[in-house]
Structure 1
């Protein structure tokens, strides 16, 4: 499979008469773009805003991030989700880089939603503060889940994907500024020079714990709770096969933007043919019952062994119960003779003194931490809030609270906030581009 991602580097975004891309400037016809949003009758209110790095703007509750794209030759950017089911990862897709579409609730948030500060001290906590962002801030008539802690956010998430596809059409007739080409030959047809290098795979564990549909990550529109570990070409992940779900403490989340740009995958591509033979992606899952966890780990280990994998990276979307899947998978791979490195965040408590993962094993002796979900973050008021600040305290965001006997509410009367890192939108960047570093004391 050969995938060409044609890149257009967005230097500025503005509203205007027509939706166009010219010399780095994306101009958006706001009325036309909102027509795309309102195609879903469940959207009751919607507006578009533009925010840029350094703006003293706080966004909450943030639900999703998507990179605008256009699939050359037609077809949906997200096969099986926004259009018919077809193969992703082959052909040409055009991408608007250095920007994203952010989906923000006008009022109601939930466990899986987060916060972004575009400027000030809080900007360092999330990658999305470094992007130019088109913000869809909207509300729906989904009354059944308005006050539920856990929301599917279906209308808002799908509106964000439609909007991203609409914006991507601005470059459909233009020549990309440059291209990234991703190609792997079939495993049995690689040159001797490549085949003699260490065989490396990445094992991805997307969020898939909810048995009720509508919450989990999607694989070609398929609820990942229903799947068993399967071999995927890395191009499929980079080209819209995977969609973020709506169940995950927010700092641990993989946004759809993360799947589209997954840095661990692109870094392995950079080393392919030089230091490693990149075998591909084993797409696994996260389960609830112990037997299900053990079964998935066995599938992953068998697949890796059959493929001749020498080394693997395992990365999980989440923490807590998923830690058992994560460590179990690492142990199963090690038992199969595969040298394995794990990448995840940790939950060591506000004081940093708790056990970092729910379960551990001596064989999991090469772990990369992307941060502590429980770390307390205090931030001053912002000049402007897009969405509703009170959602952080009121609606059960995983890093916010309405009252604490010591700290009070997460939202103070002056607009300042205190929260756990949990509520920072994709803040731990387990996908591989965390700005955090470790210090040894």
Structure 2
């Protein structure tokens, strides 16, 4: 399967009379784009902004991030979600790099929504503080969700994905600045020199714990709570087959942008044929009941063993209850004779003294930490807030609070904030972006 992505590197974004791209400058007709968004009658308020690195802008509550892309064959970039079900992972797509569409709530946030700073100390905590962002700030008529801690945000999420496709139209007839080619041959009958190398499989555990449809990550539009672990080509992940859901403390989340650009997959591709034989991706899930967790772990180990994997990397979206799935999967793989490395965040408490994962096992002796979700972060006021900063303390965001007997409110009267890392949008970057380093004192 061969996927070619033509890249256009966005250096600046402005609003203008027509949607266009020229030598790094992306121009968007704001009214035209908003008219397109408002075709969904569920959208009651919508506005577009531009947020670039260095801007004194704070965004909250952030719900989703998407890289603008377009397929040259005219089909949708997110099959089964924004368009009819179709195959992902092959053909040619064009992408606007260094750029994302961010979806921000006009009023209401929730457990799964977070914060981004475009400058200052807070900028370093998320990837998106370093990107040029088209920011959709919107609200919907979904009144029943306003005061719920968990929100589906279906209208807002779909609006962001549709807007990303809409914006990417401007490069359809242009010549890319460079091209990335991702091609991985069939697992069997590979070049003998490649087959001599250690065989490695990448296990992804996207969030799928909510039994009610509409909250979980999607594969080809299919709610992952309804599936068992399955083998996928890595190109499918990079090419829009997965869409981020609306569940999990937000620092732990994988946005759609993370799936589209998954650094762990790209790193494995880079080493394929050099130091490893990259077999592909086992797409697992996260469950609530113990029996479901054990069943998924058995499936993952069986698939990996059948493929002939000698090593595995397991990456977990979330923490807490999902830690049991993560550890069970690592143990099952080790029991099958497959050397396993885990990638996860930790929840060690504000003082860093608590047990890092809910459950542990001596067989899990190679784990990469992406930081402590409970670490306290204190940031000064920002000149501009896009969205509604009050949601950080008012609406049950996972790392914010209305008041604390010691620390006071998360959102102070002067606009400064104190919160846990939990509320940084996709801040743990388990998919491979994380720049954090562990030090021993």
State the TM-score, normalizing by the size of structure 2: 1.00
Q: Distance in 2 between matches of 1:225 and 1:315?
A: 17
Q: Distance in 1 between matches of 2:56 and 2:15?
A: 20
Q: Distance in 2 between matches of 1:360 and 1:283?
A: 22
| 1:32-431 matches, cutoff 5 A | 32-431=32-431
Q: Distance in 2 between matches of 1:15 and 1:189?
A: 52
Checking the alignment, whether the CA contact within 8 Å between 1:398 and 1:422 is kept in structure 2 is: yes
Checking the alignment, whether the CA contact within 8 Å between 1:2 and 1:89 is kept in structure 2 is: yes
1:210-230: CA deviations, max 9, x gaps? 000000000000000000000
Aligned-partner SS, 1:189: coil
Checking the alignment, whether the CA contact within 8 Å between 1:36 and 1:159 is kept in structure 2 is: no
Checking the alignment, whether the CA contact within 8 Å between 1:313 and 1:342 is kept in structure 2 is: yes
Who is 2:438 aligned against?
Answer: 438
Q: How far apart are 1:12 and its partner, in Å?
A: 0.6
Q: How far apart are 1:35 and its partner, in Å?
A: 1.4
Q: How far apart are 1:438 and its partner, in Å?
A: 1.2
Q: Distance in 2 between matches of 1:21 and 1:189?
A: 43
Q: How far apart are 1:412 and its partner, in Å?
A: 0.4
Q: Distance in 2 between matches of 1:391 and 1:3?
A: 40
Q: Distance in 2 between matches of 1:129 and 1:435?
A: 14
Checking the alignment, whether the CA contact within 8 Å between 1:68 and 1:165 is kept in structure 2 is: yes
Q: Distance in 2 between matches of 1:322 and 1:434?
A: 20
Q: How far apart are 1:435 and its partner, in Å?
A: 1.6
Q: How far apart are 1:298 and its partner, in Å?
A: 0.2
Who is 1:23 aligned against?
Answer: 23
Q: Distance in 2 between matches of 1:293 and 1:343?
A: 18
Q: Distance in 2 between matches of 1:140 and 1:185?
A: 45
Q: Distance in 2 between matches of 1:158 and 1:39?
A: 12
**Paired residue total:** 441
Q: How far apart are 1:436 and its partner, in Å?
A: 1.1
Q: Distance in 1 between matches of 2:310 and 2:57?
A: 47
Aligned-partner SS, 2:188: helix
Checking the alignment, whether the CA contact within 8 Å between 1:205 and 1:286 is kept in structure 2 is: yes
Q: Distance in 2 between matches of 1:148 and 1:287?
A: 22
Q: Distance in 2 between matches of 1:69 and 1:331?
A: 38
Q: Distance in 2 between matches of 1:183 and 1:204?
A: 20
Q: How far apart are 1:36 and its partner, in Å?
A: 1.6
Q: Distance in 2 between matches of 1:260 and 1:57?
A: 25
Q: Distance in 2 between matches of 1:184 and 1:177?
A: 23
Structure 1 runs of 4+ off > 6 angstroms? none
Aligned-partner SS, 1:182: strand
Q: Where does structure 1 lack aligned partners over 5 or more consecutive residues?
A: none
Q: Distance in 1 between matches of 2:437 and 2:197?
A: 30
Q: Distance in 2 between matches of 1:199 and 1:286?
A: 25
Aligned-partner SS, 2:79: coil
1:239-258: CA deviations, max 9, x gaps? 00000000010000000000
Q: How far apart are 1:40 and its partner, in Å?
A: 0.9
Q: How far apart are 1:189 and its partner, in Å?
A: 2.5
Q: Where does structure 2 lack aligned partners over 5 or more consecutive residues?
A: none
Q: Which moved more, 1:430-439 or 1:1-10?
A: 430-439
Aligned-partner SS, 2:430: coil
Aligned-partner SS, 1:187: coil
